[in-house]
Structure 1
Amino acid sequence: MKRSPREITIEESSPDTGAPLMISPPRIFSALATFCWLSLGSLAFAQEGVQPFYIGTYTSGDSQGIYLSSLNLADGSLAPPTLAAELDNPSFLAINGTHDHLYAVGEVSNFKDKASGAVSAFAINQDGTLKLLNQEASGGRGPCHVLLGPDEKTALVANYGGGSFVSLPVAEDGTLKPAASVMQQAGSSIDKSRQQGPHAHGMFLVPGTKLALGADLGVDKVMIYDVTDEGELKTHDPAFIAVTPGSGPRHLATNKSGDKIYVLNEMASTVDVFQFDPQTGQSQHLQKLSTLPEGFDGNNTTAEIFLHPNGKWLYCSNRGHNSLALYAVDPETGKLTFVEHASSMGETPRSFQIAPQGKHLLIANQNSSNIVVYEINQENGTLTSNGHQIDVPNPCCIDFRFD
C-alpha cells in the first residue's frame, strides 16, 4: 500500500545501500491529508519562524500539480506536502513581489488545439492554496521556465520545444494577457542529437536594468533582450553572448551589481564566468570550470544554478553524479574556486533553492521524488544534511513565498 506524502528522515534508509528510502505518494489524497493541508495553511501563513514554499512537478506519474509545504526555520524540518492546485506539468513557478500571485508554465505541446504550452496565473489564498485566474498560450511548445519582468508587468517565458522566448503582459488584477512578443530562435550547434535546432531554456534579469538574458541550449548562446515598458522583447545590440559549441547553456545567475554572469551549461557540465557591462551588454569571458570531480566518467547533465544571497558562494546541480557543486566567489574578480561536492541524497537533482534567510538549502530530486534539507555553513558555504526530507512526486521546481 502506498503511503501519503509525509516527512521522513535520512535514518529511514535502505539497509543495503544506506540510501534514503523513497516512497511514492498516492495520486489521490485521503481525508487525513486534506485535513493536514488545511492545518498547514494555517501554520504556514500565520506562524512566525515558518517559511512556506511551492513545488512544481511533472504530472506523468503520481503528481497532480503544484504542491505546498513549509520550512521550519528553527529545526530545519519540512511540513507534509499538500496539493495547492491541479495543473498539467507545472515544471517552473514564479511568485510576484507582493506575494499574492503565482505564475506557472504548463510544459505541454498542445494547448487549446494549438502547438503551444500554457502559462497559468493564480491568486495565492490566505491559507496558501491557489485559485486559478486564467491561462494563456505560451507562444511555443514545451515551456520550461517563467520569470516576471523588471516591473512585474510582464511574464517572460522560455519555450524549450518551440525554441522561443516570449513575453506576456500582466494585468493589474494579476491575470495574463496574450503574448506581446514571440522571439523565435533559429540555428543549431554541433551536437546533432540535441542541438538540431533552438531550445530556449530560461530567462533571467540583469539587476538594475531592463535587460533580460535568454539561455538557448540548442544554439549555444545567451540572448540579450531589452524589455520595453509595453512588455515587449526587443533584440539588444550586442544580441548575444556565445559559449563554447556543444556546451548547451541552460540556466544562469548574476551577481547583485549585474557585472558578473555565471552560465551553467547542461550538456558540457561546465560553468562559464563572464564579465558583463549592464549598461552596454558587452561581455568578456573570464573562466570555465567543470561541475564534476576529476575522473568521473558517467553520464551527467547539469540543471540549476544559484548564488547565495551574500554573493560569496555559487551552487550548481549535477544530474547523474547526483550532487551539488559548490564554488567560492572571489569578491574582487568574481572568479570561482571549487570547494566541494555534496550528495543530493536522491536521483536527478533537477532543482534546488536557497531559503530567503540564507541558512537552508532544499534539493528537489526529480526521479527519486524527494526534497532534502541542508544546513548552509555561514562561514564557508558548505552543506550538511540535517536529516529532514519529504516525499513529493516528481519535483522539478521550488519557489519560496516571502511573507
Structure 2
Amino acid sequence: MTALAGCGEKSEAPKPVAEEQGTAKPAVVESRFAIGGYTDGPGQGVNGLSLNHATGELTSLGLLAETVNPSYVVFNEDATVMYTVNEKEHGGISAFTLNTTNKTFTLTAATQGVAYAPCHISLSPNGKFIAVANYMSGDVQLFSRAADANLALVSAQQHTGKGPNESRQEAPHPHWINWSPDGKFVYSVDLGIDQIIKYTVTEQGFSAGEPAITLQGGDGPRHMVFHANKDIAYVVNELSNTVAVLSYNPETGALTEMQRIGTLDPAFSEHSQTAAIKVSSDQRFVYASNRGANTIAVFAVAADGRLTYVHEHATEGKWPRDFTLTSDGKYVLVANEHSSTITLLARDSETGKLSSTGKSIATHRPTAVVEF
C-alpha cells in the first residue's frame, strides 16, 4: 500500500516498488477458459472460450477436446495437459495433451470402466497423483500420473454409511476431493454421509480414511475450499443451503466447525441447493452459488476467518453449477447448466460485490469453468 504524503506538504508520489525494479505485472488483456459439461452425442466435450478483460467480450474457442460427460476438468502446472472425469455409469478419467498448432487437446490416455459417475478430479501439489471422487459408486480413487500423461490406478477407498435425507443420502456420495494447501492431507467431501473424510497419500496409495469432521445431519456437504493465509476451510452444504466455516489443524488434519451461515435470502421460499464455493485471490471474500435461487452469495472474511453476508447477485441464467473468479479479480464467469450459458459478472475488488455486465455466451450444459 502506498503511503500518503503529509497534509499541506507538496511531494511527488513514490513509484510502486515493483515498477522501480522493472517487475510490475502487466494488466491481464485476455484469458482462456475450459468449459466442462454434459454431452448428448458425438462432437461434444470440453469447450473453450476467451475473455477480453478490457471490453468484457466472451468469444467461443470451439471444441477443445471431444469426450463424454467431462463434468469436471483440471490442468497440469503449465496447462499443456488437461484431465477430465467422464461422468457416466462405466466412467473413468481421460488425459489430453495440448496441440500447440491449433490450440486444441488430443486424447493421450484414458482409464474407463473403473467408477460410476466420477464427478470431481484434482491434481496433487507435487504433480504425482490424480484424485477422483465417484458420486454413485461411493468411493474415491488415486491414480499415478506419468510424464507422458498416462494414468495408473494406485488405490481406492470405499465410503460407507448414509444420511437422514432418504432421497439424496441413501448411500455415500463423494462429491469433491482435493489436497490441503500444505499437501499433507487429502479430503473427500461426502454429500451422502454428511462427512469430510481425511486421507494421507504415499507411493502405495491412500491411507485408511477417517472422518475429519461430521457435519449436521442432512447438510449434504458438496465442495470445500481452503483459505490461503489462515488455517480455515469453507464447505458449502448442498441440502441445507449453508456454508460451514471450519478451523483446520495442520498437525492432525482435524476440522472443527466455527460458524455456519445461510446462502439464501430469508425471503426466498422456493427450492434451491448450493453448488460451488470459491475464495477471492485476495482472500477477503467467499462466494457460493445457489441453484434454484440462481444467485451467487457474497461473504466478507473476518480476521478470524468467520463470514459476514454481503449480498446476493443473480447469475442471469438457470442452475449455476459452477463459477470461477478471473485471476485479476475483475470478473466472475458462471456456468449455468440448465440455461446452457456462461454469464459474465463484474466484481468490485473493494466491496466484493457483483454486478451485471450484460455479457453471456451459449455453451451446452456447462458444469465446470476453469481458467487455463
Output the CA distance in 1 between the equivalents of 2:191 and 2:259: 19
Task: Give 1 or 2: higher strand fraction.
Answer: 2
Which amino acid in the other structure matches residue 121 of structure 1? A
**Mapping of 1:2-401 within 5 angstroms?**
49-60=29-40, 64-110=44-90, 117-126=91-100, 127-137=102-112, 139-177=114-152, 179-228=153-202, 230=203, 232-235=205-208, 239-257=211-229, 259-330=231-302, 332-401=303-372
Question: Deviations for 1:227-263, whole angstroms, at most 9, x for unmatched residues?
Answer: 22x1611136x63211100000000110114610101
**Local SS of the residue matching 1:246:** coil
Which amino acid in the other structure matches residue 309 of structure 2? F
Output the CA distance in 2 between the equivalents of 1:158 and 1:328: 29
**Percent of pairs identical after alignment?**
35
Contact 1:139–1:166 under 8 Å retained in 2: no
Q: Give the aligned CA root-mean-square deviation in angstroms.
A: 1.5
**Local SS of the residue matching 1:188:** coil
Output the CA distance in 1 between the equivalents of 2:361 and 2:42: 15
In the comparison of the two structures, how many residue pairs are matched? 344
**Local SS of the residue matching 2:49:** strand
Output the CA distance in 2 between the equivalents of 1:71 and 1:210: 35
Show structure 1 runs of 4+ deviating over 6 A.
none
Contact 2:127–2:145 under 8 Å retained in 1: yes
**Local SS of the residue matching 2:132:** strand
Instruction: Provide the residue aligned with 2:5 in structure 1.
Output: none
Contact 1:207–1:258 under 8 Å retained in 2: no
**Local SS of the residue matching 1:150:** coil
Output the CA distance in 2 between the equivalents of 1:265 and 1:338: 16
**TM-score, normalized by length of structure 1?**
0.83
Distance 1:267 1:182, change over 3 A: same
Contact 1:167–1:231 under 8 Å retained in 2: no
User: Could you tell me how far 1:386 is from its partner in structure 2?
Assistant: 1.5
**Local SS of the residue matching 1:79:** strand
Distance 1:138 1:334, change over 3 A: farther
User: Could you tell me how far 1:163 is from its partner in structure 2?
Assistant: 0.5
User: Could you tell me how far 1:128 is from its partner in structure 2?
Assistant: 2.4
**Local SS of the residue matching 1:165:** strand
Which amino acid in the other structure matches residue 251 of structure 1? H
Question: Deviations for 1:68-115, whole angstroms, at most 9, x for unmatched residues?
Answer: 1111121121112411111110000001112110000000002xxxxx
Output the CA distance in 1 between the equivalents of 2:223 and 2:64: 26
- Unmatched segments (≥5 aa) in structure 1: 1-47, 111-116
Contact 2:245–2:257 under 8 Å retained in 1: yes
Output the CA distance in 2 between the equivalents of 1:375 and 1:63: 32
**Local SS of the residue matching 1:80:** strand
Output the CA distance in 1 between the equivalents of 2:172 and 2:272: 21
Which amino acid in the other structure matches residue 96 of structure 1? N
Question: Deviations for 1:190-239, whole angstroms, at most 9, x for unmatched residues?
Answer: 111111110010012211232111000000001111122x1611136x63
Output the CA distance in 1 between the equivalents of 2:138 and 2:274: 19
Question: Deviations for 1:162-205, whole angstroms, at most 9, x for unmatched residues?
Answer: 0011111101112212x111110011011111111100100122
Output the CA distance in 1 between the equivalents of 2:298 and 2:120: 23
User: Could you tell me how far 1:337 is from its partner in structure 2?
Assistant: 0.2
Contact 1:63–1:394 under 8 Å retained in 2: no
Distance 1:298 1:259, change over 3 A: same
Distance 1:313 1:202, change over 3 A: same
User: Could you tell me how far 1:57 is from its partner in structure 2?
Assistant: 1.0
Which amino acid in the other structure matches residue 198 of structure 1? P
Contact 1:61–1:394 under 8 Å retained in 2: no
User: Could you tell me how far 1:278 is from its partner in structure 2?
Assistant: 1.7
Distance 1:138 1:210, change over 3 A: farther
Determine which structure has greater relative contact order: mean sequence separation of CA pairs < 8 Å that are 6+ residues apart, divided by chain length. Answer: 1
Contact 1:207–1:257 under 8 Å retained in 2: no
Distance 1:390 1:231, change over 3 A: farther
**TM-score, normalized by length of structure 2?**
0.89
